[in-house]
Amino acid sequence: MTETAGSRQAHEPVSPSPFGREAGGEGKTPLASSTPTPLPEGEGLRGRTKSAPDGKNGGHAIVLSLDPRRLRFLLAVLLLAVLPHLWHLHWSHTALFLGFWAWRRLGIARPRLLPRGVWLPLLTLSAAGVVIVTRHGAIDLTTSTGLFVAGLGLKLMELKSGRDVYFTVLLGWFVILTQFLYDQSLGMAAWALAGVSLLTAALVRFDAAGWLGWRRLARHVAILVAPAVPVMVLLFLFFPRPQGGFIHLPFGASARTGLSEVMEPGAVSRLAASAEVAFRVDFDGAPPPPAQRYWRAQVFWRFDGRRWLAHPAMRRPAPRPPPGGGREWRYQVTVEPHHRRWLFSLGTPASIPPEAVLTRDGVLLSPDPLDERIRYALRSRERYRFSPLTSLERRAALQLPAPPSGRIQALVATLGGGDDPEAFAASVLAWFRDRGFRYTLNPGALGGHPVESFLFETRAGFCEHYASAFVYLMRAAGIPARIVGGYMGGFVNPRGGFLEVYQANAHAWAEIWVEGKGWVRVDPTRAVAPAYVEQVQSLDEPLTESAAERLTRSHPEAVRKEEKKAGIQNDWPRRVRILLSAIDHRWHLWVLGYDRRAQARLLGWLGERWPGLVLSLAGLLAWRLRRRASPSPDPLTAAYDRFLRRLGRKGLVKAGAETPAAFARRAARTFPQWAEQIDTVTRLFLQAHYGRGDRRRAARALQAALRRWRP
Amino acid sequence: MSVDTNPELRPLLAALEEVILGKERQIRLAVCCLLARGHLLIEDIPGVGKTTLSQALAQLLGLSHQRVQFTSDLLPADILGAAIYDEQERAFRFHPGPIFHQVVLADEINRASPKTQSALLEAMEEGRVSIEGETHPLPEPFFVIATQNPFHQHGTFPLPESQLDRFLMRISLGYPDPRAERRLLAGEGGGDVLRGLPPCASGGKLSHWQEEVTALHVSPPLLDYVQALLRHSREAGEYQSGLSPRAGLGLLRAARAWAFLAGRDSVWPDDVRAVLEAVAAHRLGGVALESGARRLLEAVAVP
């Protein structure tokens, strides 16, 4: 198989490249270069070239009209490309575009309707006016994108020649690009990829001589788009990334749900039904047990009788985290933008990521509001050795808006007083449990003294009420205490292996100061509704209100049984949601999370290894060139060779000098059970290879036969 | 897959097999040679059916037939014919020789002198006879079957290589196998059977077949194969002489005819392989002729 193998290929019919016949034509207009011969009927850009009066070459005037069928395709594709902006832009801007679009669409059948002459500049000016007026003159992202989209609509008004088509497609590509300014999700990327491909398809359709079917169209588009992929990857990896991303996007600060700066009744409960992801955590190793999943974000010190507030002095940065002991967890947190500064840590953090500062009360703060997704690595320990309370801290942790009333003092006394903080905390929790306190997301309004009316009258509330009342009682008993806000629990995504924490996991609990131990976490809600807390800690979606109510009353075991009976753990929408969430997380991690530092890491890594990389790249290139020098196997012989390899694996090898027919006879004798398939394959090959059969078709038939036959 | 037979030729082959017992392959090759418009050299000892084969071919195809026994004193004119002065017409008149038949059996061609041999072979090659400035075309179709005794016999003039090249094929019939010989001895086959057989086709039909053979499709990969065979015969250094371009053309023609016999409309490498020994062995030279051709087949890959 030496010299003959090569010469066999020399007779292969060379399939013309999709644009082969359009090569050349330099010095002509784009139209002339794309169609060198008189145009057949149905040409994309119908028209003819007239010599200009001066008769000079290159001075062609073009008389054109666009093929309606192709134009309809282009318009449909443009509509798809602009569609996502419906959610991003001012409604009037999209309305402008849609109006122009519809106008042009009508104009296909009735060209007289299209504006011309002085109407075009008039329309342009008024459209620009509308855009600017609706934005009150503000020149920002929305305005500029609005102008751009309206401009694309206007361009459609004068869509007359091939050049206009090229320009419109170019604008369409840009419109798709602008959508990434608003949305960088995976879905948007998929939509953009589809949009770019379809616009390219429109371009190909206009440039092709005949009307291309979908299959050929897809092939041409793939040929055009595929070479862009490596360029895209290289640009993605190496294009310099400015600090803080390309553009600071003007998001409305209240656009999303999340914790609020101040804790007052209702601040957390309004999140209870939100399925939005707050943040995700990837653990190096196993995640901590559910009971340990308390995510600190805020510490509240000051109580004004109704609301809990942070303490400005405690917000000052701490030089280093307290020394820790016990188990250590290493993890990376990916926080969804919440437009506030706090970051989340499992308990008190044992390290400070470079993106954040650690406050004196042990929470992490970002220097800027989180308008973009952020990811940071962190460590946490099981225990810490806190330095003794300063007098300021002690004062802040004992602060009360007014001296406790007699009723409160009597209660504190009945529960044993504050000499032993932990014993007192235990008796308060027991009191909650025994005195008919219940957990509900819809407590009635509280009276003038919210804590007292909760403790002695309504006895119904949720985590904020319990944390608030608990800390109040602690302080009344002289035990330093503070409220911690954040999230509790998290659902381990079985597809991604990461922990997902939803807004519905928002929670408030308490920390009390125990001499010799430091700050100790106490969750009073757990004492009241253990089943509820346990569920929330490992739940993958917010509970319905009725489920929450049920959970607050039942024992955890009973709930789990009930849940199994209902088959909650097996329904497919939940599975789809889990899968999508996992994909989304990876997308954020690997694509959007590739920031300046990740790039610097990659460049550093490359810097150490570049000689080896250059060498292997050169080797790859040389190999490619050598491969190109030898003719690529034609599909027919390639398919037949596959057949030979398949039999070869079964121990039957065709000798070089053996003819296919002779080999087939031998093979059929050896494997009588496959005689039919062997005969079919050989016949197909022989008829096309030595006969007049069509090689391509035979190759396809042969491939199909091989697919059907799995020895 | 290639043992099929063109239905048009089935009666002819069947009839031939009735006459020459147990020699299907040689019969096929002889018919193939005829279809390819080539001439056939049969190298064999006397008495194995050479004459009967040529007679059978002529009769079954409805062709005129003449046998010429070559002897050492045979002159060219004895074969070609001569211009003889006609007293009445006062002019030389051409008297055609035995070569002016559609099937000519040149028996024991190596007994004649080289001069006579070359006269026959020239006429074969050119398809006409030129005597005294006059050209007389040979009949159509024209098929020469020459027989030759093995070289070791005395008093022979072996055909030189250049003359051997004029024969498209060289075959030998060989002894019949025991079963065929038994049938032969039992009175089957042979000239007696032949006399009772009607013609299966006509000269016109044969010409038509020959046309079809010429039109048979030959694909580029097959040409690659033929070229590879030719190249190997020249470059391998195993053979006295490599195959000439004429041999290449002959090989292709014979392969076409073989494919036609098999009832196909395109030539496969199997066809080339089937005829290679008959076409190439006598041109490759050397002692072990047949094994030389076989070696060639084993050495060249099929594309």
pLDDT in tens, B15-46: 888 888 888 888 899 999 999 988 998 888 77
Give B265 to chain A, closest Cα distance, Å. Answer: 7
Binary contact (B221, A656; C-beta < 8 A): no
What are the contacts of A643-648 at 24+ separation with CB within 8 A? A643/A681, A643/A685, A643/A702, A643/A706, A646/A706, A646/A711, A647/A671, A647/A678, A647/A711
Instruction: Give the domain CATH number at B98.
Output: 3.40.50.300
Number of domains in chain B: 2
On whether any CB of chain A is under 8 Å from the CB of B87, the answer is: no
Q: End-to-end CA distance of chain A: give it in Å, rounded.
A: 26
Chain A residues 675-694 with CB within 8 Å of chain B: 679, 682-683, 686-687, 689-692
- Residues in B closer than 8 angstroms to A660, CB to CB, are 268-269, 302
pLDDT value of position A630: 58
Which of residues B179, B210, B241 is at a domain's end? Answer: B210
ipTM of the complex: 0.84
Which of residues B172, B189, B210 is at a domain's end? Answer: B210
Quick one: B132 and B154 in the same domain? yes
Taking the C-alpha atoms of residue B229 and residue B245, their distance in angstroms, rounded to an integer, is: 11
Quick one: B118 and B171 in the same domain? yes
On whether any CB of chain A is under 8 Å from the CB of B42, the answer is: no
On whether any CB of chain A is under 8 Å from the CB of B265, the answer is: yes
On whether any CB of chain B is under 8 Å from the CB of A695, the answer is: no
Contact between A523 and A510 (Cβ < 8 Å): yes
pLDDT value of position B252: 93
Question: Which two structure tokens, joined as six digits, stand for A185?
Answer: 């999700």
Is A588 labeled as catalytic in the residue annotation? no
- Among B4, B222, B224, the strongest candidate for a mutation testing the A interface, having the largest count of A CBs within 10 A, is B224
Quick one: B62 and B193 in the same domain? yes
Residue A693 CA to its chain's centroid (Å): 51
Chain A residues 511-540 with CB within 8 Å of chain B: none
Binary contact (A690, B219; C-beta < 8 A): yes
Q: Count how many pairs of residues, chain A against chain B, have C-beta atoms within 8 Å.
A: 73
Q: What is the pLDDT of residues B125-169, one digit of tens each?
A: 888 888 877 788 888 888 888 888 776 566 777 787 777 888 899
Q: What is the pLDDT of residues B233-289, one digit of tens each?
A: 888 777 777 888 888 999 999 999 999 999 888 898 989 988 888 888 888 765 555
- Residues in B closer than 8 angstroms to A634, CB to CB, are none
Quick one: B61 and B194 in the same domain? yes
Active-site annotation holder among A93, A465, A507, A585? A507
What are the contacts of A239-244 at 24+ separation with CB within 8 A? A240/A599, A241/A595, A241/A596, A241/A599, A242/A596, A243/A596
Residue keyed to tokens 């066999």: A8
Binary contact (A690, B303; C-beta < 8 A): no
Binary contact (A8, B268; C-beta < 8 A): no
Element (H, E) at B247: helix B245-261
The b-or-e profile of A73-109 (16+ CB within 10 A means b, else e) is bbbebbebbbebbeebbbebbbbbbeebbebbeebbe
Which residues are paired to B170 by β-bridges? B41
Which of residues B166, B191, B210 is at a domain's end? Answer: B210
Binary contact (B268, A659; C-beta < 8 A): yes
Amino acid identity, residue B252?
L
Quick one: B133 and B248 in the same domain? no
pLDDT value of position A510: 92
Instruction: Give the domain CATH number at B222.
Output: 1.10.8.80
Which of B221, B227, B231 is facing A689, going by the closest CB pair? B221
Quick one: B179 and B194 in the same domain? yes
On whether any CB of chain A is under 8 Å from the CB of B263, the answer is: no
pLDDT value of position A551: 53
Which residues, in sequence order, are CB contacts of A620 under 8 Å at separation 6+?
A: none
Binary contact (B298, A7; C-beta < 8 A): no
Quick one: B240 and B150 in the same domain? no
Q: What is the pLDDT of residues A364-383, one digit of tens each?
A: 998 888 877 788 889 999 88
Domain boundaries, chain A: 63-226, 269-581, 635-708
Question: Which two structure tokens, joined as six digits, stand for B48?
Answer: 């194995």
Give the DSSP letter of residue B244: P
Quick one: B206 and B220 in the same domain? no
Contact between A291 and A485 (Cβ < 8 Å): no
Taking the C-alpha atoms of residue A329 and residue A291, their distance in angstroms, rounded to an integer, is: 14
Contact between B148 and B108 (Cβ < 8 Å): yes
On whether any CB of chain B is under 8 Å from the CB of A656, the answer is: yes
Is A248 labeled as catalytic in the residue annotation? no
Is A584 labeled as catalytic in the residue annotation? no
- Residues in A closer than 8 angstroms to B220, CB to CB, are 8, 10-11
User: What's the domain range around B167?
Assistant: 1-210
Question: Minimal Cα distance from A665: which residue of B?
Answer: B1
- Residues in A closer than 8 angstroms to B300, CB to CB, are 4, 657
On whether any CB of chain B is under 8 Å from the CB of A4, the answer is: yes
CA dihedral B140, B141, B145, B146 (to 10 degrees): 30
- Residues in B closer than 8 angstroms to A662, CB to CB, are 270
What phi-psi label fits residue A334: left (phi over 0), alpha (psi between -120 and 50 degrees) or beta?
Answer: beta
On whether any CB of chain B is under 8 Å from the CB of A665, the answer is: yes
pLDDT value of position A266: 59
On whether any CB of chain B is under 8 Å from the CB of A5, the answer is: yes
Count of C-beta atoms within a 10 Å radius of residue B56? 27
Quick one: B171 and B286 in the same domain? no
pLDDT value of position B253: 92
Give the DSSP letter of residue B189: S
Secondary structure (3-state) at A175? helix
Active-site annotation holder among A67, A207, A361, A523? A523
The fraction of chain B above a pLDDT of 70, given in percent, is 95
pLDDT value of position A32: 37
Whether residue B225 is predicted with pLDDT greater than 80 in this model: the reply is yes
Question: Minimal Cα distance from A6: which residue of B?
Answer: B303
Binary contact (A4, B297; C-beta < 8 A): no
Which of A7, A660, A679 is facing B224, going by the closest CB pair? A7
Taking the C-alpha atoms of residue A667 and residue A212, their distance in angstroms, rounded to an integer, is: 43
Give B81 to chain A, closest Cα distance, Å. Answer: 46
Question: Minimal Cα distance from B302: which residue of A?
Answer: A657
On whether any CB of chain A is under 8 Å from the CB of B228, the answer is: yes
pLDDT value of position A22: 37
pLDDT value of position A246: 46
Helices within A567-659 (DSSP H only): 572-587, 596-629, 635-649
Question: Which two structure tokens, joined as six digits, stand for B41?
Answer: 């050299």
CA dihedral A255, A258, A261, A262 (to 10 degrees): 120
- Residues in B closer than 8 angstroms to A687, CB to CB, are 266
- Among A8, A12, A659, A669, the strongest candidate for a mutation testing the B interface, having the largest count of B CBs within 10 A, is A659
On whether any CB of chain A is under 8 Å from the CB of B260, the answer is: no
- Among A637, A690, A695, the strongest candidate for a mutation testing the B interface, having the largest count of B CBs within 10 A, is A690
- Residues in A closer than 8 angstroms to B270, CB to CB, are 659, 661-662
Residues of chain A with pLDDT under 70: 1-65, 242-258, 265-275, 444-445, 534-571, 627-633, 711
pLDDT value of position A198: 92
Quick one: B291 and B203 in the same domain? no
Taking the C-alpha atoms of residue A308 and residue A18, their distance in angstroms, rounded to an integer, is: 70
Quick one: B163 and B297 in the same domain? no
Active-site annotation holder among A67, A220, A361, A463? A463
On whether any CB of chain A is under 8 Å from the CB of B236, the answer is: no
- The tally of CA atoms less than 13 A away on the side-chain side of residue A637 is 19
Which of A5, A665, A679 is facing B303, going by the closest CB pair? A5
On whether any CB of chain A is under 8 Å from the CB of B164, the answer is: no
On whether any CB of chain A is under 8 Å from the CB of B217, the answer is: yes
Question: Minimal Cα distance from A655: which residue of B?
Answer: B301
CB-count exposure of residue A521 (10 Å: 0-12, 13-18, 19+)? middle
